[in-house]
Amino acid sequence: MAETTNGEATAPRDKADGRVGANDIIICRDVKKWFGDFQALRGITISIKEREVVVIMGPSGSGKSTFIRTLNRLEEHDSGQIIIDGVELNNDLRNLEKIRSEIGMVFQQFNLFPHLTVRRNITLALSHVRHMRKKDSTELAESLLERVGIPEQIDKFPAQLSGGQQQRVAIARALAMQPRIMLFDEPTSALDPEMIKEVLDVMMELAESGMTMIVVTHEMGFAKEAADRFLFFDEGLIVEEGTPEHFFTNPQEERTKLFLSQIL
């Protein structure tokens, strides 16, 4: 078990225990979303508990990315209800910025800020959203880079790093805000094969440390090992949900079977 440095969720995760009596940190009720005439989400209802790791799979265009992007309002849902940690997502900007700073997000394309050093990428929001002092934010950046295994890269620019290193910086940047939830939108899809493992290792460690995580990925190894729950999306709906064992040994839905047969 690696050490966590941000002072949260330091206890080792006990999967059985973590589920019982834990609060629902994310509640979605009948969430719908249209892009013009196209309906991307056709009524998503789900609750996710604290410390839970949820893996979302599904064919492309099934709405899985759109769904996790509605959770921090990068996409606005058109109807239904999303409640994060007791606060409903709506047009209230104050709520929004507070909720966003409590949800970390890691993107497929890393989206590091190319004009800033690794250090500044990590500390930017700390100084401008958390109003943390420079000394403290730098210390936090150093310890987070240590945690993701690249402390020596702190003064480089993103373009000077490999894809895997960039994605690890992106994870460190998200963790710096000490989020209660982490969203991963296909975090390894843009990486060369030899770099996927270094990113998955960091995510594994994070899952074991008790972080609430929602991960859109096609990495079966990671899913089997880390996930508490699987969601299978198709055409804007959750068509099947269950434990990893259920998913890999006994899928019920035809579409799930078909999808799994194609990617396994």
Q: What are the residues binding another protein (CB under 8 A)?
A: 72, 74, 93, 97-98, 100-101, 103-105, 107, 109, 111-115, 117, 124-125, 128-129, 156-160, 170, 173-174, 177
Minimum separation from the CB atom of position 25 to another protein (A)? 17
If the CB atoms of residues 124 and 204 are measured against another protein, the closer one turns out to be: 124
Minimum separation from the CB atom of position 168 to another protein (A)? 15
Minimum separation from the CB atom of position 173 to another protein (A)? 7
Minimum separation from the CB atom of position 218 to another protein (A)? 20
If the CB atoms of residues 4 and 72 are measured against another protein, the closer one turns out to be: 72
If the CB atoms of residues 134 and 257 are measured against another protein, the closer one turns out to be: 134
If the CB atoms of residues 22 and 125 are measured against another protein, the closer one turns out to be: 125
If the CB atoms of residues 28 and 105 are measured against another protein, the closer one turns out to be: 105
Cα–Cα dist 40/208, whole Å = 32
Minimum separation from the CB atom of position 107 to another protein (A)? 6
